[in-house]
Amino acid sequence: MATISNLIFQILVFFSVYVQVFLFVTFLENKKKIIRREGPITLKNYPSVTVIVPCWNEERTIAKTVESLHLINYPKDKLKILLVDDGSTDGTWEIMQRFSNHPNVQIFRKKNGGKYTALNLGLANTKTEFLACLDADSIAGVESLVRLMSYFENDPTTMAVAPSVIVNNPRNIIESAQKCEYYMSVYIKKMLGFMGAIHVTPGPLTVFRKKVFDDLGSYRHAHNTEDMEIAYRMQKNHYKIEQCNDAYVYTNTPKTARALYKQRSRWIYGFINNTIDYRHILFNRKYGNFSTFTVPAAIFSILSVAYLLSRIIYNFSNFIYHKFIVLKINGVGGLIPSHHLDLFFVNTQSLFFVIIFIYTFVFMSITVGRRMAEGKWSISLDTVYFFSVFGLIAPFWLLKAVYNTITARAPSWR
């Protein structure tokens, strides 16, 4: 039993390293192509863009979101904003009405039906060649849209471009940890972009050619992760998705461990179930790196974390058990280590070194991602928060998502 368990563990660890090396090699291959533009840029043409903002009980953030779109560096006559109230029960509709007299804003109100229905209502009212959706808890950076649009200008085969999503104004440990994680995502997404293997077109301001929806159909419920499903559908049909690392969208992230846990359970649940829905494209070379790298890598990471958790729990309970015996026999005094620290007892198993390699890669991903987003090399305390918060809670939301999938229980939004 022990050897089988060990073998599984070694395989999982091997693939974790493999994924990190793959991303790193992609980085080395494409390093020169990563550009970060500082000031405003101009396009040859400014095609019309419709931004759909689906809202459900967003009275606190919606005004800022819309204002950020008004401040955006893009010709006003080329930008249409559609605000869709998906049956909010708070003051969202009243706030939306304040914007109704702007010439480029249109507001809609419908019965609550889920985010994808709000997006589809926006889609039905889109007449422009390009469209973007912007979550009502996010703020678009001034230069974001024009930079995103430059990718379409440079490559006519590009069908969607995702921005760099940055955590808006992190104030506590949970948010700071996510700030780091989002930097890491900037790095990973950019690499997946180079590989043509992006698996999610995030709600905060991904821009699409309208053709995508004309050809492939509208948004689907997709286990509450419609922004992932559309990316899967695009990959299945060989529609190119790019990542624009210098287009910034600032998003409000969960402020508490509980809210984060809920959000991530929903994401992972969405990932597992979308993957099940699209299982036939898995490991099929026809669909490129998306099916041979991105999705398998994500599956492996779920398995690894779940497995690691069981091992950690096992080791930890052993440790507690031993301490408990000492406590029972010797009292509290026995818990204070009496012998001096001996270097002999430092772990030097090969696994220990492999884990150091993995941590180094993760640390590098965060640093490079931060550099790609902020333009500076820096290390902050956030990294420590990241490792501790995600190390502690991530296994649980993974397990929760797996549990929900098995029991066919769809997670709620909030």
Partner 1 sequence: MAENNFDWKKYLIVFLITMGLFFTAIYLSNFFGSKKINELKSIQDKIAINILSSETEFSLLSDLSCKNVSGSALSAELDDLGSKLEWSQKNLGAKEEVTSLRQYYSLLEIKDYLLMKKISARCGVKSAFILYFYTTADNCTLCDQESVVLSSLREKYPELRVYSFDFSTDLSAVKAMLNIYKIKDTALPAIVIDDELLTGFHGEEELDSKVQESFKLQESKPAGVLPKQ
Among 3, 101, 338, 412, binds partner 1 (CB under 8 A): 338
- At position 377, the amino acid (one-letter code) is W
Query: In the stretch 343-382, what mask flags binding to partner 1 with x, by CB under 8 A?
Result: -xx-xxxxxxxx--x-------------------------
Phi-psi region of 252 (alpha: psi -120 to 50; beta: other; left: phi over 0): beta
CB 212 within 8 A of CB 152: no
Q: Please say which residue, 338 or 412, places its beta carbon nearer to partner 1.
A: 338
Is residue 21 near partner 1 by the rule CB under 8 A? yes
Is residue 326 near partner 1 by the rule CB under 8 A? yes
Sign of CA dihedral 121, 122, 126, 131: negative
Q: Please say which residue, 185 or 291, places its beta carbon nearer to partner 1.
A: 291
Give the whole-angstrom CA distance, residue 279 versus residue 276: 5
Least separation in angstroms between CB 211 and partner 1: 12
Which residue from 279, 277, 172, 295 is spatially nearest to 222, judged by alpha carbons?
A: 277
Our CA angle for 276, 281, 286, nearest 5°, is 170
Least separation in angstroms between CB 197 and partner 1: 7
- Please name the residue ranges forming H helices in 199-294: 210-216, 226-236, 257-277, 288-289
Query: In the stretch 126-165, what mask flags binding to partner 1 with x, by CB under 8 A?
Result: -------------------------------x--------
Q: Please say which residue, 344 or 377, places its beta carbon nearer to partner 1.
A: 344
Among 92, 150, 225, 289, binds partner 1 (CB under 8 A): 289
Is residue 3 near partner 1 by the rule CB under 8 A? no
Q: Hey, is 100 helix, strand or coil?
A: coil
Least separation in angstroms between CB 8 and partner 1: 16
Question: Can you say how many angstroms the Cα of residue 246 is from the centroid of all Cα atoms in its chain?
Answer: 16
Q: Please say which residue, 329 or 332, places its beta carbon nearer to partner 1.
A: 329
Helix (H) or strand (E) holding 323: helix 295-330
The per-residue DSSP string of 21-61 comes to: HHHHHHHHHHGGG-----S----S----EEEEEEESS-TTT
Contacts of 129 (CB under 8 A, 6+ apart): 47, 48, 209, 210, 211
Least separation in angstroms between CB 223 and partner 1: 25
Least separation in angstroms between CB 25 and partner 1: 6
Least separation in angstroms between CB 1 and partner 1: 13
Which residue from 79, 84, 134, 83 is spatially nearest to 104, judged by alpha carbons?
A: 79
Q: Please say which residue, 346 or 406, places its beta carbon nearer to partner 1.
A: 346
Over 129-168, what HEC string results?
Answer: CEEEECCCCEEECCCHHHHHHHHHHHCCCEEEEEEEEEEC
Least separation in angstroms between CB 71 and partner 1: 33
Among 5, 14, 259, 359, binds partner 1 (CB under 8 A): 14
Only one of the segments 101-109, 264-272, 295-303, 323-331 lies at the binding site for partner 1 (rule: CB under 8 A); that segment is 323-331
Is residue 18 near partner 1 by the rule CB under 8 A? yes
Q: Please say which residue, 261 or 357, places its beta carbon nearer to partner 1.
A: 357
The DSSP 8-state label assigned to residue 285 in this structure reads G
- At position 170, the amino acid (one-letter code) is P
Query: In the stretch 256-285, what mask flags binding to partner 1 with x, by CB under 8 A?
Result: -----------------------------x
Using CB under 8 A as the criterion, which residues of the chain lie in contact with partner 1 when the complex forms?
Answer: 14, 17-18, 21-22, 25, 157, 195-197, 238-240, 285-286, 288-289, 292, 322, 325-326, 328-330, 334, 338, 342, 344-345, 347-354, 357
